[in-house]
Amino acid sequence: MTILRLMRCARGASILEFAILAPLFIAMLVGLIEFGRAYWIRQSLAEVAFHTARCMAMDTACANQAQSVAFAVARASDYTISIAPSAVVPTSGVSCRGQANSHQVVISTPFLSPIASFGFLPENLQVTACFPVFSSGSGS
């Protein structure tokens, strides 16, 4: 086969194009999956933090800090998310988002991903939720 004839030959071009583009498409697919997983975990943790702050305001099941932390850990496990008790920080009587005297829950946990070294995914996920403290007034 001469050089000109070899350059005009299209046999094998498809496999070469596939070999070049397949890793890029696979990397993009895995990146989209991991980004979706990070967003889902963050949204689930935000829901856990909100319901923990609400529980602190309205329910005796979260009467102290230990009970609030246990509630948050149990609620997160309902979503198959494992968080350490030290990752949950419930605080009462703080000013949160312009609302004085609120319950605030902060959850911070590492995001473990096989592609975390690429740098476009967060290393830690942190969410904050607030719920106002209701005073038991005389109901005029």
pTM over 0.85: no
Q: Is 90 exceeded by the pLDDT of residue 116?
A: no
pLDDT digits (tens, 9 = 90+) for 46-90: 999 999 999 999 888 888 999 999 999 999 999 999 999 999 999
SS3 132: strand
Q: 65: closest CA among 108, 103, 94?
A: 103
Spatial contact of 129 and 104, defined as CB atoms under 8 Å apart: yes
DSSP assignments along 31-96, one per residue: HHHHHHHHHHHHHHHHHHHHHHHHHHHH-GGGSSHHHHHHHHHHHHHHTT----GGGEEEEEEEEE
Spans of all domains in the chain = 14-132
* Distance separating alpha carbons of residues 140 and 64, to the nearest angstrom: 30
Mean pLDDT of 105-111: 94
Tokens of 59: 């329910």
